[in-house]
Structure 1
Amino acid sequence: MTNALATVIIVVSLAAAAYALVTALRNRAMGWGHLIALGVVEVLLIVQAVLGFVKLAGDEGPKQPATFIGYLLAILLIPAAGAGWGMLERTRWGPGVIVVACLAVAVMIVRMNQIWTGNG
């Protein structure tokens, strides 16, 4: 894992969650801005996945990488699932789904970092 990239992912994900929360509190449906924010999060996660697999191939990272690989692959599904579900839900709860998805991404990145460093 790259700590700088992990920090960027967390910050962008939390910013997207805050944006979606404001939209939900204003009783509005999801819009293009939310899709763009989720797209940015997804691109950052893809970069993190590629770097993670490259480092794992170079004998870096946890001694037993199965859990880390599971997180690395599963986290890629969260923004896409949040976008799909948010688009289907045309009420204020659509952005609410995005809030949960973005918070889940931030928590999973923290957990992946713990696994990577051996602190968890």
Structure 2
Amino acid sequence: MTNVLATAVIVTALLTAGYALVTTVRDRPMSVGHLVVLGVLEILLIAQAVVGFVKLGGGEGPDPATTFIGYLIGVVLIPAAGAGWGLLERTRWGPGVIVVAGLGVAVMVVRMNQLWSGTVV
């Protein structure tokens, strides 16, 4: 994992959650803008997954890599699932799902950094 990429993912995820929260509070449904920010987040997560798997293949990373790999695969699925669910829910709660997805991604990336650095929590 690279700290720069992880920071970019966390900031993008939190900005996505904030944008969706404002939309939820304004009682508006999900829009194309939400799909754009989720797309940017997904691109960053795919880049992170590629970097993570390359580094794991090179012998870097946590010793039992199974938990880290689970997080790496799982975090890539969250924005797509949030987008799908948000599009199906045409009320204010569609963007509410995006809030939860953005916060979930940020927390998972922080946890992946902890696993990578060997921090025991």
TM range (shorter): over 0.9
- Rounded to whole Å, the distance in 1 between the matches of 2:17 and 2:3 is 21
Aligned length, in residue pairs = 120
- Rounded to whole Å, the distance in 1 between the matches of 2:2 and 2:49 is 10
Question: What is aligned with 1:104?
Answer: 104
Question: What is aligned with 1:119?
Answer: 119
CA-atom RMSD in angstroms: 0.4
Matches within 5 A, 1:65-80: 65-80=65-80
Q: CA deviation at 1:89?
A: 0.2
SS, match of residue 73 in structure 2:
helix
- Rounded to whole Å, the distance in 2 between the matches of 1:23 and 1:63 is 42
Q: Does 1:45 align with 2:51?
A: no
- Rounded to whole Å, the distance in 2 between the matches of 1:90 and 1:63 is 44
Question: What is aligned with 1:82?
Answer: 82
The percentage of counterpart residues that share the same residue type is: 68
Question: What is aligned with 1:23?
Answer: 23
Gaps of 5+ in 1: none
Q: Deviations over 1:37-90 (max 9, x none)?
A: 000000000000000000000000101100000000011110000000000000
Which TM-score applies when normalising by structure 1?
0.99
Which TM-score applies when normalising by structure 2?
0.98
